[in-house]
Amino acid sequence: MRPALGGGLHRFANPGRFLRMTGAVMQWLWGGAILVLGTGIVWGLAFAPPDWQQGETVRIMYVHVPMAWLAMGGYTGLVVVSILSLVWRHPLADLAAREMSPVGAAVTGLCLATGSLWGKPMWGTWWVWDARLTSVLILFFLWLGHAALVRAFDEPERGARAGAILALIGGVNVPIIKFSVDWWNTLHQPASVTRFAAPGLHVDILYPLLTCALGFTLLFAALILARARSAVMERRIRGLELASARRHDSGRVPQGAPA
């Protein structure tokens, strides 16, 4: 099973094939992200009603909740590509992980910032050290640590290996974030959207929220894919320049040698 899976995955390691395949996807991702996110933001900010408890403050949720989902979902994706890197040595897995961490750190930072903006009017404070908020802050530092670690070595392979190990260790934090409000007595409210038996949100708020979540997800994927494509093209250019320099050096006549 392992060799077959590894062989199938390595079919996409060819830079030219990767660029061709992703080039066809990119325009759909960007177009879908702009259309869906634009619809969700306008729907949520201009047409959705205020919440009966939170009032107009509920509109922060149209950014905060998708950022929280992407922070955790993105890190789960980082764990997956780290496994591909460590087990199957997939070259694009290292590149994907390297390009995911800055975007993931930005998303988690926005999650924390919008959460603070929501917390001040609702809780009367910008920050509390409860389990949910603290574990998300740890996730933010894990994203930053991974971004720094993979770039800290002169040899990219060593940086990728160290970053993959850190990502796997940090993966323990994702279920802690998810279930922290159930395991401990926290100030953060429990899940409202995923309770399908008795949803905590009215459909007039839930539907624009889900639309924003889909739009931000498409934008997240488009940003990572664009960064990955840019990195692949940069490596190809660097490889061509190196090959050209080697051919130039090999064609030079050493000093003192007969012409």
Q: Checking phi first, is residue 256 left (phi over 0); if not, alpha (psi -120 to 50) or beta?
A: left
- Count Cβ atoms below 10 Å from residue 16 Cβ, excluding itself: 9
9 assigned to some structural domain: no
252 assigned to some structural domain: no
| Residues 181 and 188: beta-carbon distance below 8 Å | yes
88 assigned to some structural domain: yes
Q: What is the number of domains present in the chain?
A: 1
20 assigned to some structural domain: yes
Could you list the pLDDT tens digit for every one of the 259 residues in the chain? 444 444 555 555 566 777 888 888 898 999 999 999 999 999 999 999 988 878 888 899 999 999 999 999 999 999 999 999 899 887 788 889 999 999 999 999 999 999 999 988 888 888 888 888 999 999 999 999 999 999 998 888 899 999 999 999 999 999 999 888 777 666 666 666 654 445 567 788 999 999 999 999 999 999 999 998 888 888 777 666 666 666 766 666 555 555 4
196 assigned to some structural domain: no
Q: Please give the Cα distance from 258 to 167 (Å, whole number).
A: 58
For the entire predicted model, the pTM comes to: 0.83
Tokens 């259309």 map to which residue? 35
Domain residues for 74? 15-188+203-239
167 assigned to some structural domain: yes
Q: Checking phi first, is residue 153 left (phi over 0); if not, alpha (psi -120 to 50) or beta?
A: beta
Q: Please give the Cα distance from 128 to 140 (Å, whole number).
A: 16
**Positive or negative CA dihedral for 238, 239, 240, 242?**
positive
42 assigned to some structural domain: yes
198 assigned to some structural domain: no
